[in-house]
Structure 1
Amino acid sequence: MDVFLQIHKFIIKLKKLFNILIIATFLVASSTFIFAQKSYTIVLDAGHGGKDPGNLGNGFKEKDIALKVARIIGEDLEKHAYIKVLYTRDEDVFIDLWKRGDIANTAKADLFVSIHCDSHTSSAYGAGTFVLGLRGNKKNLEIAKRENAVILLEDNYKEKYVGFDSNSAESVIGLSLLQEENLDKSLEIASIIQNNFANKLKRLDRKVKQDNFQVLRETIMPSVLIELGFLTNRSEGAFLDSNSGQKQMANAIVQAIESYVDHLKLNTVKASSRSKVTAKEVKSDFVTNTDIEFKVQIASGRNLISTESHNFKGLKEVQRVEVGLYYKYYFGNTAQYKEVVESLKTAKQKGFVSAFIVAFKNGEKISISEANKME
């Protein structure tokens, strides 16, 4: 009997040990999954600050309102474990425009959101969101000039922004390639923000617009500049200066950012050695008997996206090329320039409004004019 009792006790111990191992395995697996989740970095930029008060319509201070709204947004976003929030300023200090962009670039941020309040000599009102672009009209350019004029308050601004003239359209246009590539994502988040302002808060919708804000030019990720409303309109200024108004506007922006990040998560696949594609591999798959190839660049970013057509608005045979920390997405690979022009039209009709043609020789990027001479 003693022997059977000892065996029984031993079996019970084994069962307990087995259960402990199962629980431990589950916990490790769960924690691995949690820590494996991608983190998204959002940079919040409260406009103006310190010696630069921004606009002072009806005695309200743009710099104070922008900072309060940015803080509310940040506090709400930080409740998500997968979102990391950085501020270009979290107190009343003056920050150079180039430094604001540098903070976001150094952090390899996924999104840059700049918060401002508008002004006008009329009783204009309403909220608007800007993305960087070349298609701004004269009215939008005036807004950009006002926001960019803060450059003149910076130390050594002539050296930092060589050739910059806040009153010159040419000075506020020189867009970089990478910024143009991010335009689609910037337009996406801007549209969600405006939709929330108009439909959830019933603010007058001043639409998504493109123009040439210096603070957006300094960033190399999807970026938007939000004009919460007009401080020069007494009623709207009072709303934006109130705790209630600031919370409402901030919540609308938070919800938009959450929706945008959710979309990024859905369109992001885990990187693996088999999913990486080189320029040579793309070339050999789609172009033969020539060392010149044309293609349409439709997107670029740090997210590795499956090239299935449903991820690119129905475009087929999309190619992905890894370039440093970024992935570039191409469509319509061909040796004929006339064919790539048609592919560009197709891409733009599908909604890739910032798409453009690129050319390669033996996998090395060259100018279109040079490629046409060799065709």
Structure 2
Amino acid sequence: MKTGNILLFVSFIIVLTFSSFVIKQEDKSSGKFIVVLDAGHGGKDPGKPSKYGYKEKDIALKIVLLVGKQLEKNPNIKVVYTRKKDVFIELKDRPRIANKAKADLFVSVHCNAHHTQAYGTETFVLGVANTQRNFEVAKAENEVIFLEDDYEKKYEGFNPNTPEIGIGLALIQEEYTDQSILLASLIEKNFANKIKRKSRGVKQASLWVMHQTVMPSVLIETGFVTNKKEGSYLNSKKGQQEISESIVNAILEYKKSLDNNIGDSLEAEDDILLPTEERIVNDVIFKVQIAASSKVLEPRSYNFKGLTDISRIQVGSIYKYYYGNTSDYNKTKVMEQEAKKKGYTSSFIVAFKDGKKVALAEALKSTAN
């Protein structure tokens, strides 16, 4: 692929990704933590070949359905499937389903293959194919493209056999890399510690199925169907149950780490009560400060106990998080009570004028309607 075509492809995908991100931010979710589960392959695409008769598409689907069944027991989690039966889903449609669902996580489940008796688990996040083995995995997972009609038009010149394309794909998911790696690490940790599987680690590769997802995304290689012993384990009810439980545990740990990532050490300003007619200020924006943390979190509802309309401002090494955005002080007071009911007991109202934080008393002295 010529360099010019690669740059054109990368620019095209970045534009699509940015557009999807804007849509997601404007269309607020219900507050539930949304997980999209993707069973690899399906229908006319059987997945990795195995001389022992194990079918990757069937194993991946059974594991995904078990993961979904367990996650659905949690009232704060919504599960979306790219497929729930043996059907062929085009590769480009899998991330599209996740973006449309405004998902918080995208988890794709697969089985591995090799010409030797290699075994063990691997979890991939999007990145440059920095080793020959990672490149081989990327090629194998991306080659489903060639089973689709008019794939040249659909994928805008993307060639899954070209390692240079990984550079462009890595840029797209850069914003979510840390979160993706965190989830991938938790998955591999659960595999190794809970069910004593051999973990081959967290790796990065240019995998199309994750290239356009605008959320943390991982692709799990649950083991090798080309290994007689491991393939038998993957094909068994016991193996599928253990693997699914490990994935569920990792997702719940990941979600918990986000829930616990917010500090509650705030310095409140004095509350001010004024007559209703004096509480609407044209050139001032009121917000409710709910948290301060040294860690960067996406201003998404799942990070803030279901609250939407979250904004973030960096002050030195601290990130401050705010709920709401209005010139109506009365509305802000209601939001403050909502935040406190959610558990942010130290939350308080702050004011911004011309984009700069000002004392609340000064803001309320401004000319009112």
| Class of the TM-score when normalised by the shorter of the 2 chains | 0.5 to 0.7
Q: What is the one-letter code of the residue matched to 1:65? A: I
In the alignment, the residues of structure 1 paired with residue 38 and residue 255 of structure 2 have an alpha-carbon distance, to the nearest angstrom, of 18
- Counterparts in 2 of 1:178 and 1:158: CA distance versus 1, 3 Å: closer
The aligned residue for residue 216 of structure 1 is 210
- Counterparts in 2 of 1:235 and 1:155: CA distance versus 1, 3 Å: same
Contact 1:65–1:241, Cα closer than 8 Å, also in 2: yes
In the alignment, the residues of structure 2 paired with residue 246 and residue 43 of structure 1 have an alpha-carbon distance, to the nearest angstrom, of 19
Q: Do structure 1's residue 122 and structure 2's residue 123 form an aligned pair?
A: no
The aligned residue for residue 147 of structure 2 is 153
Q: Which of 38, 45, 49 is 2:38 aligned to?
A: 45
Contact 1:194–1:205, Cα closer than 8 Å, also in 2: yes
Q: Do structure 1's residue 94 and structure 2's residue 88 form an aligned pair?
A: yes
Offset, 1:175: 2.2
In the alignment, the residues of structure 2 paired with residue 146 and residue 197 of structure 1 have an alpha-carbon distance, to the nearest angstrom, of 23
Q: Which of 163, 170, 193 is 2:164 aligned to?
A: 170
- Counterparts in 2 of 1:319 and 1:212: CA distance versus 1, 3 Å: farther
Secondary structure of residue in 2 paired with 1:79? coil
Contact 1:52–1:150, Cα closer than 8 Å, also in 2: yes
The aligned residue for residue 59 of structure 1 is 53
- Counterparts in 2 of 1:273 and 1:259: CA distance versus 1, 3 Å: farther
Q: Do structure 1's residue 188 and structure 2's residue 189 form an aligned pair?
A: no
Structure showing greater radius of gyration is: 1
In the alignment, the residues of structure 2 paired with residue 150 and residue 299 of structure 1 have an alpha-carbon distance, to the nearest angstrom, of 35
- Give 5+ residue unaligned stretches, structure 1: 1-35, 277-296, 310-314, 323-362, 364-375
1:192-203 correspondence to structure 2 within 5 Å: 192-203=186-197
The aligned residue for residue 13 of structure 1 is none
The aligned residue for residue 266 of structure 1 is 260
Query: After superposition, what is the alpha-carbon deviation per residue over 1:193-247, rounded to whole angstroms, capped at 9, x for unaligned?
Result: 0000011111111000111110010211000000000000000000000001000
In the alignment, the residues of structure 1 paired with residue 260 and residue 297 of structure 2 have an alpha-carbon distance, to the nearest angstrom, of 17
* Percent identical: 49
Q: Which of 106, 128, 148 is 1:112 aligned to?
A: 106
Count of residues paired in the alignment: 264
**Deviates further, 110-119 or 258-267:** 258-267
The aligned residue for residue 27 of structure 1 is none
CA RMSD of aligned residues (A): 3.1
Contact 1:131–1:223, Cα closer than 8 Å, also in 2: yes
- Counterparts in 2 of 1:268 and 1:121: CA distance versus 1, 3 Å: same
Secondary structure of residue in 1 paired with 2:190? helix
In the alignment, the residues of structure 1 paired with residue 157 and residue 223 of structure 2 have an alpha-carbon distance, to the nearest angstrom, of 31
In the alignment, the residues of structure 2 paired with residue 169 and residue 321 of structure 1 have an alpha-carbon distance, to the nearest angstrom, of 42
In the alignment, the residues of structure 2 paired with residue 169 and residue 176 of structure 1 have an alpha-carbon distance, to the nearest angstrom, of 12
Secondary structure of residue in 2 paired with 1:48? coil
Secondary structure of residue in 2 paired with 1:224? strand
The aligned residue for residue 252 of structure 1 is 246
- Give 5+ residue unaligned stretches, structure 2: 1-28, 265-284, 290-294, 304-309, 324-354, 356-369
In the alignment, the residues of structure 2 paired with residue 68 and residue 307 of structure 1 have an alpha-carbon distance, to the nearest angstrom, of 43
In the alignment, the residues of structure 2 paired with residue 301 and residue 119 of structure 1 have an alpha-carbon distance, to the nearest angstrom, of 39
In the alignment, the residues of structure 2 paired with residue 96 and residue 263 of structure 1 have an alpha-carbon distance, to the nearest angstrom, of 33
Secondary structure of residue in 1 paired with 2:45? coil
Offset, 1:306: 7.2
TM-score normalised to structure 2 length: 0.66
1:1-375 correspondence to structure 2 within 5 Å: 38-57=31-50, 58-134=52-128, 136-175=130-169, 177-267=171-261, 274-275=287-288, 300=298, 302=300, 303=303, 304=310, 316-318=317-319
Contact 1:269–1:306, Cα closer than 8 Å, also in 2: no
Contact 2:128–2:170, Cα closer than 8 Å, also in 1: no
Offset, 1:307: 6.8
Offset, 1:268: 5.8
Offset, 1:45: 0.1
- Counterparts in 2 of 1:78 and 1:221: CA distance versus 1, 3 Å: same
Offset, 1:318: 4.1
The aligned residue for residue 337 of structure 2 is none
Secondary structure of residue in 2 paired with 1:209? strand
The aligned residue for residue 345 of structure 1 is none
